[in-house]
Chain A
């Protein structure tokens, strides 16, 4: 090692060198890649609103009736029956000139007097749980399969991709129904895990594509020459560069997961009584649509809110990760400057 550290300061011409792409760099000065993405995400108004609404829904669903053994602040639960507050069990929630009155049963009661608010909150919890389970499991499997086949190519790739093809060819609703019936038995956790096992295909395809192009990049060669092992190249060098695709696809996957869960439960193959989910509530009350339509609307509203929010967040993330997406300043603002 003949290293003799020179401690001369950088030559003065370095200053001119820095100016080379100075204007483009103004926007990203001193920020890491992650911080730049976060900045762009925060600027996306739709996504920020969606994130706020989703957070609100989660807070409402968890604090009101509590989680598991922990009690919430809401007085009723989703099982017990109560005498009807308003004839017909109509919602007591009223928005009038004299402000908002919540009443005893804001979302109304069903035909045997159960509190619909508590039931919707419980259903929301269940649906969100299934959504997260599907998201986590499908993402993990998808990344692993996609990364392996994209990195190693050849036989590994052929095997994993044919496996993917096989899963893709079977309609997901059929697989979901069979798995849900076989393992779920009405249990939300098992249903989520079962569905996660069949929804990873898109993710693995996308990650594979990204890895195929990333492995041709020179920094991967550089890491290899530096002596990095395959595992290190995959996880330290390539995976962080594919994170954009992964995060965006995860959110889209979750949005479709909640729809899948509700449709399965609606068909009677997913979560079934006594367990509750939003889809199962709609299924339960479909006969009452003519007489007590609110039993239908409230769970429906929550399904829409959740699916929309997750989709919007995914949209915002996609824009944030796309380097070509630049905020174009408005004409008016530019004129002021």
Chain B
């Protein structure tokens, strides 16, 4: 934190004073941000932390005039002494890209898919500077080298879909840095990425802040992300700044209740006590009853038995069949919660979808509740579905937008002819009670609910038939951290009550730790490691597991630094082993050297 000591000497790049953002809805102004004031100095990282809807994004976008048409900004924001609020559109256009650059959340949508990465960087350069196409190209390659994209001379001519999610985000950063902006706004730059890729991007940003002289505004909802990166932190809630201070102050001496809540909401590894006498331990009676060893043949007692399971996506036209899951063995006993962890494209979701019969099993065997899923007929599948259900990742798309949520929840009951009419209503109401939603909400539509509420509805629907096996496919990864904490709590409570077995799929080890008794780690369609939670988290045997573990951010600057260093060491070792140059630091490259090619898009799990 060298900048902290030098900071007072330099003039702030950005001085925001009493900034307000309002939206005009139905004849009234609704405030989205009120009385926001802060300063950013060169080389400094200011993190703005808050949940969705806290006004953190809108207040930053108002600086460069990117508010929706019904929004307005008031107050003052001076960029190097120049007032930004109320600037005309043509002037603002000059500011954007030139003085202020933005890194957006979703690199796949923020990059134009029909142009090469290089073209988009060159475009930025040539709109603002008088520069020849050749020079611009050279500069683009230079920038791509700076953000550590492998083979920048080749990557410059690649289209966004040819890059992995992490590389795309790097390209976005290169584009943002093209004109040496005075201010860089990073709007949730890692939220759409896997934990391991997130760690890479955070590392890059940390390196960059020393190399460029820009002020960085980092917008995020995740306290873990900012722990090791931010110098100063603003915490926003409902459009107001509730707390501000240095990273050290916020993490070690949080004053406001909301900050404390945000901090505690981040699941961090090692938070669970592994001893049996804790509340968590006693709640899981089944844990002790079950042998820890996997693959034990217990016959009918296990609700999910995979033996040498192979699942393929069938070939389409010229694209050959893709083997997403390649020979895994996994067993889940009654009432047991097994966490399945891996990066995007590792095949973990595929296993979950096969368990509920949404994908056919190609090879090996998968037995769900005594029914063999390989080549299963539609009648038998119906019987299987009496006992299994699934909670999807994105609650926004897994609920039919045209059905009131009560109807969505009641559908399994109705279709299995378990309840009808008034009885159905009663059951739906009791399900709503159980996921802590008001009964009156049953007539609402999905678009009227918040993300967390929608996911509760998804859970209620999955529980409608009191399943023996519940597949939870990243149920919390689309949610804010604080909402995630609440949903996880609810999930635990329900698991205790219903006693269903659960295949909990997630890319986040910290989340899995809270819920699972056993953890299985998947990588590129294969099961890398599995075992009891304690073993996987405390003494992992495989490098890959260790790397995954070290990538999880922890909301504590000191500890996060330690973890980052450990991770760098791991990567260097791995690089040395695969016989690569010492300078190579990205997981992508090591994996490419290992022979694997990422066939599926990172952002599309």
Residues of A with Cβ closer than 8 Å to B?
A: 1-11, 13-14, 17-23, 25-30, 32-33, 217-219, 221-228, 232, 237, 240-241, 326, 328-329, 333-334, 337
A218, B416: Cβ atoms closer than 8 Å: no
Which residue in A1, A17, A22, A241 is a CB contact (below 8 Å) of B466? A1
Which residue in B24, B402, B445, B497 is a CB contact (below 8 Å) of A241? B402
B392, A334: Cβ atoms closer than 8 Å: no
Which residue in B25, B408, B450 is a CB contact (below 8 Å) of A20? B450
Which residue in B72, B388, B408, B433 is a CB contact (below 8 Å) of A334? B72
A228, B433: Cβ atoms closer than 8 Å: no
Min Cβ gap A331→B in Å is 10
A237, B401: Cα distance in complex, Å: 9
- 16 residue pairs of the A-B complex, CB under 8 angstroms, read A2-B499, A8-B433, A11-B436, A21-B53, A23-B30, A23-B53, A25-B448, A26-B30, A29-B448, A33-B402, A219-B398, A219-B401, A227-B385, A329-B69, A329-B70, A337-B24
Residues of B with Cβ closer than 8 Å to A?
A: 23-30, 32, 51-53, 68-70, 72, 238, 353, 356-358, 382, 385-386, 388-390, 392-394, 397-404, 408, 411-412, 415-416, 430, 433-434, 436-438, 444-445, 447-448, 450-453, 458, 461, 464, 466, 480, 483, 486, 497-499
A7, B356: Cα distance in complex, Å: 31
Which residue in A1, A20, A25, A223 is a CB contact (below 8 Å) of B452? A20
Min Cβ gap B441→A in Å is 9
Min Cβ gap A228→B in Å is 6
B433, A225: Cβ atoms closer than 8 Å: no
B390, A26: Cβ atoms closer than 8 Å: no
Min Cβ gap A246→B in Å is 13
B397, A219: Cβ atoms closer than 8 Å: yes
A10, B436: Cβ atoms closer than 8 Å: yes
Which A-B residue pairs are the 8 nearest by beta carbons?
A218-B398, A226-B412, A5-B430, A20-B450, A240-B402, A227-B415, A328-B69, A219-B400
Write the chain B residue with the least CB distance to A14: B436
B486, A218: Cβ atoms closer than 8 Å: no
Write the chain B residue with the least CB distance to A25: B448
Min Cβ gap B308→A in Å is 25
Min Cβ gap A205→B in Å is 20
Residues of A within 8 A of B450 (CB): 17-21
B26, A26: Cβ atoms closer than 8 Å: yes
Residues of A within 8 A of B436 (CB): 8, 10-11, 14
Residues of B within 8 A of A27 (CB): 25-26
B415, A228: Cβ atoms closer than 8 Å: yes
Known: A23-B53, A225-B389. 16 other contacts (CB 8 A): A3-B430, A5-B433, A6-B434, A10-B438, A14-B436, A18-B453, A21-B53, A23-B30, A33-B401, A219-B399, A219-B408, A225-B390, A227-B412, A228-B411, A240-B402, A240-B403
A329, B452: Cα distance in complex, Å: 31
Residues of A within 8 A of B30 (CB): 23, 26
B24, A334: Cβ atoms closer than 8 Å: yes
A22, B483: Cα distance in complex, Å: 15
B385, A225: Cβ atoms closer than 8 Å: yes
A225, B356: Cβ atoms closer than 8 Å: yes
Min Cβ gap B491→A in Å is 15
A326, B71: Cα distance in complex, Å: 13
B402, A17: Cβ atoms closer than 8 Å: no
Which residue in A21, A222, A333 is a CB contact (below 8 Å) of B461? A222
A3, B466: Cβ atoms closer than 8 Å: yes
Which residue in A5, A21, A23, A225 is a CB contact (below 8 Å) of B434? A5
Which residue in A3, A4, A6, A337 is a CB contact (below 8 Å) of B29? A337
Min Cβ gap B24→A in Å is 5
Min Cβ gap B430→A in Å is 4
Residues of B within 8 A of A11 (CB): 436
Min Cβ gap B512→A in Å is 22
A32, B447: Cα distance in complex, Å: 9
- With A227-B382, A227-B415 known as contacts, the answer to whether A337 contacts B27 (CB < 8 A) is yes
Min Cβ gap B66→A in Å is 15
A20, B451: Cα distance in complex, Å: 8
Residues of A within 8 A of B461 (CB): 222, 226
Interface centre among B388, B390, B447, B451 (most CB of A within 10 A): B447
B433, A241: Cβ atoms closer than 8 Å: no
B398, A222: Cβ atoms closer than 8 Å: yes
A11, B437: Cα distance in complex, Å: 9
Min Cβ gap B93→A in Å is 20
A228, B385: Cα distance in complex, Å: 10
A33, B447: Cβ atoms closer than 8 Å: yes
A333, B24: Cα distance in complex, Å: 9
B70, A326: Cβ atoms closer than 8 Å: yes
Which residue in B72, B388, B398 is a CB contact (below 8 Å) of A221? B398
A23, B23: Cβ atoms closer than 8 Å: yes
Residues of A within 8 A of B394 (CB): 218
A20, B399: Cα distance in complex, Å: 19
A28, B353: Cα distance in complex, Å: 34
A2, B357: Cα distance in complex, Å: 25
Residues of B within 8 A of A33 (CB): 401-402, 445, 447
B27, A20: Cβ atoms closer than 8 Å: no
B52, A20: Cβ atoms closer than 8 Å: yes
Residues of A within 8 A of B412 (CB): 226-227
A17, B453: Cβ atoms closer than 8 Å: yes
Interface centre among B27, B357, B464 (most CB of A within 10 A): B27
A6, B433: Cβ atoms closer than 8 Å: yes
Which residue in B358, B386, B497 is a CB contact (below 8 Å) of A4? B497
Min Cβ gap B493→A in Å is 9
Min Cβ gap B511→A in Å is 19
A4, B463: Cα distance in complex, Å: 13
Residues of B within 8 A of A10 (CB): 436-438
Residues of B within 8 A of A224 (CB): 358
Residues of B within 8 A of A22 (CB): 53
A241, B382: Cα distance in complex, Å: 25
A337, B397: Cβ atoms closer than 8 Å: no
A10, B449: Cα distance in complex, Å: 15
Min Cβ gap A122→B in Å is 41
A280, B253: Cα distance in complex, Å: 86
B24, A329: Cβ atoms closer than 8 Å: yes
Residues of A within 8 A of B404 (CB): 32
Residues of B within 8 A of A9 (CB): 438
A28, B448: Cβ atoms closer than 8 Å: yes
B390, A13: Cβ atoms closer than 8 Å: no
A224, B358: Cα distance in complex, Å: 8
Residues of A within 8 A of B392 (CB): 218, 221-222
Min Cβ gap B586→A in Å is 32
Which residue in A26, A30, A226 is a CB contact (below 8 Å) of B415? A226
Residues of B within 8 A of A19 (CB): 53, 238, 450
A13, B436: Cα distance in complex, Å: 11
Min Cβ gap A235→B in Å is 12
Min Cβ gap B83→A in Å is 20
